[in-house]
């Protein structure tokens, strides 16, 4: 199962990987560095990864999802895959989906002869990257979800909402309006997820001056688009936070959202499950009393859900868990500022594997430390055992990181990427962290910083077996003062033997 979420800032990155978590050490151009390195390994040496394959008694990846988890993998060189016309207005970053055979589909906003359009660009391991072609006109903010069989759903803002369904045999279907423009206020926070059967869920927030509503609409591979359903409504504008959607391969899902405090009610973090046999179930309370912000949710293969967020004061990262058919457990503080520190903890994201293990990553800004830099911190939850210690993936300093993207495979390996703004306030780079199921952490630069080059925030897709793809936009300034933009991709694939 793959889920698309809107990435912050412009741009996208493509990479294929089997993952090992990484702790950031060294200069931005340094090779991969490792903590918890096995005896005999050289710290700082660039090596392919060996991801731990699960045993049949502990891992339950469906339909051979864990096949290939023990393969060594290595990054291929970054590849320039297309240019962005100067007149293109960026409405949201490019996004990418990946199937189980290594085929990828990227969506982006481009200026073509017909105006501003949503374009699709396909990659296959044998044929490489094809030319991009339009699939929607007058559109912006694309989202995509793709399953292991190669079926995909694309959704974008076109005054209302439009969508197109893709299969490897028939290609893209004609775009279809799934939410009419005259029926909506301001549409935002669109997300889409797809299961192994090709069924999908789209969710969005519809805000007007009078109220904010949370909607979902399901796509059936057999019956097409089903009627939309409103899950929540609150008076006044922006009174419901952006939803977070997680879905498993079987089609079960969890939707998480916040209600802001009002005169007549306290703030609340709410969740609602979708069951393939019983449909949408009743709303559950996750947290209340203190406003939860930027909440995210992940879903394990056995139905275990984990939610993460930061509170309005910005001092701590919180998490709560719920078993299938069970209530949400009491929230627990899992990270943030230590005693005597000042600053902010925010930007938390979460991913889960087939067993119910999870990884949470967040951003930490310490204003009490010289430089006021923003660093990346991560922590692992092990089902039945609890939380490992939190680990900083960067050295504290003046550089500022943002735009976390986190994915986890069925075997418990994970990939995290982020964008880093350097001390000169002009240079940016893209970093990745890889965490193995055995507990190792590694970090390295995915896009090495260079004068005059500004890579955007990456977007990732990851298969259950551990292959991944990342894409990003990159701006370059010429000696003559010109400015050009192009799309780049990078894959992590099984290493040659």
pLDDT in tens, 14-36: 333 333 333 333 333 334 444 33
What φ, ψ does residue 317 adopt, rounded to 5°?
A: -105, 135
This prediction has a pTM of: 0.84
Give percent of the chain above pLDDT 90: 44
Q: Is the pLDDT of residue 474 over 50?
A: yes
Give percent of the chain above pLDDT 70: 79
pLDDT confidence of residue 183: 61
Q: Is the pLDDT of residue 44 over 70?
A: no
Shortest CA distance to 121 belongs to which of 100, 88, 147, 152?
A: 152
pLDDT confidence of residue 42: 26
3-state SS class at 454: strand
Beta-carbon count within 10 A of 479 CB: 6
Interatomic CA distance for residues 317 and 288, integer angstroms:
15
Question: Largest alpha-carbon pair distance within the chain?
Answer: 65
pLDDT confidence of residue 272: 97
pLDDT band at residue 46, thresholds of 50, 70 and 90?
very low
pLDDT confidence of residue 451: 73
With a CB cutoff of 8 Å and minimum separation 6, the contacts of 491 are: 14, 15, 16, 75, 76, 102, 467, 468, 469
With a CB cutoff of 8 Å and minimum separation 6, the contacts of 451 are: 427
Q: Is the pLDDT of residue 270 over 90?
A: yes
pLDDT confidence of residue 368: 64
φ/ψ region of 312 (left if φ > 0, alpha if ψ in -120 to 50, else beta) reads alpha
User: For the CA atoms of the chain, what is the radius of gyration?
Assistant: 21
pLDDT confidence of residue 264: 66
pLDDT confidence of residue 167: 94
Does 356 or 272 have the greater pLDDT score?
272
8 A C-beta contact, residue 164 and residue 176:
yes
Half-sphere exposure for 279 (CA within 13 Å, toward CB):
5
- Cα separation of the two ends of the chain: 29
Interatomic CA distance for residues 106 and 271, integer angstroms:
30
With a CB cutoff of 8 Å and minimum separation 6, the contacts of 417 are: 13, 15, 404, 405, 430, 431, 432, 433, 446, 458, 460, 470
What CATH code would you report for 2-39+46-494? Answer: 2.130.10.120
* Mean of all residue pLDDT scores within the chain: 80
pLDDT confidence of residue 372: 67
């Amino acid at each position: 199962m793959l889920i698309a979420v809107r990435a912050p800032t412009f741009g996208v990155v493509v990479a294929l990987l089997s993952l090992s978590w990484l702790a950031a050490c060294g200069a931005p151009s340094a090779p991969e560095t490792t903590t918890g390195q096995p005896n005999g390994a050289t710290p700082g040496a660039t090596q392919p990864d060996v991801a731990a394959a699960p045993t049949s008694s502990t891992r339950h990846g469906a339909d051979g999802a864990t096949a290939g988890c023990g393969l060594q993998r290595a990054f291929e060189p970054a590849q320039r895959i297309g240019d962005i016309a100067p007149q293109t207005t960026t409405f949201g970053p490019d996004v990418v989906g990946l199937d189980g055979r290594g085929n990828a589909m990227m969506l982006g906003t481009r200026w073509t002869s017909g105006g501003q359009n949503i374009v699709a660009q396909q990659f296959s391991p044998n044929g490489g990257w094809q030319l991009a072609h339009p699939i929607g006109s007058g559109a912006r903010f694309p989202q995509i979800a793709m399953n292991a069989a190669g079926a995909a759903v694309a959704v974008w803002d076109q005054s209302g909402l439009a969508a197109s369904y893709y299969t490897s045999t028939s290609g893209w279907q004609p775009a279809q309006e799934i939410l009419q423009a005259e029926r909506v206020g301001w549409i935002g926070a669109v997300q889409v997820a797809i299961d192994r059967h090709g069924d999908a869920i789209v969710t969005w927030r519809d805000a007007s001056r009078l109220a904010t509503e949370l909607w979902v609409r399901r796509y059936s591979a057999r019956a097409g688009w089903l009627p939309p359903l409103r899950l929540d409504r609150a008076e006044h504008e922006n009174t419901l936070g952006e939803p977070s959607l997680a879905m498993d391969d079987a089609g079960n899902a969890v939707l998480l959202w916040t209600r802001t405090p009002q005169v007549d009610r306290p703030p609340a973090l709410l969740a609602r499950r979708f069951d393939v046999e019983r449909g949408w179930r009743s709303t559950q309370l996750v947290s209340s009393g203190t406003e939860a912000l930027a909440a995210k949710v992940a879903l394990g293969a056995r139905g275990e859900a984990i939610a993460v967020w930061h509170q309005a004061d910005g001092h701590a990262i919180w998490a709560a868990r719920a078993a299938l058919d069970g209530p949400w457990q009491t929230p627990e503080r899992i990270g943030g500022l230590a005693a005597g520190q000042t600053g902010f903890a925010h930007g938390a994201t979460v991913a889960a594997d087939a067993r119910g293990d999870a990884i949470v990553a967040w951003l930490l800004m310490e204003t009490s430390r010289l430089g006021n830099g923003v660093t990346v911190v991560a922590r692992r939850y092990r089902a039945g055992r609890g939380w490992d210690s939190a680990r900083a993936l960067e050295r504290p300093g003046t550089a500022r990181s943002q735009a976390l993207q986190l994915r986890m495979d069925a075997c418990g390996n994970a990939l995290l990427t982020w964008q880093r703004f350097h001390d000169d306030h002009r240079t940016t780079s893209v970093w990745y962290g890889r965490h193995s199921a055995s507990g190792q952490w590694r970090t390295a630069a995915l896009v090495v910083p260079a004068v005059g080059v500004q890579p955007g925030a990456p977007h990732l897709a990851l298969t259950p077996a551990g292959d991944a793809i990342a894409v990003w936009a990159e701006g370059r300034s010429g000696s003559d003062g010109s400015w050009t933009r192009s799309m780049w991709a990078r894959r992590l694939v099984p290493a040659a033997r």
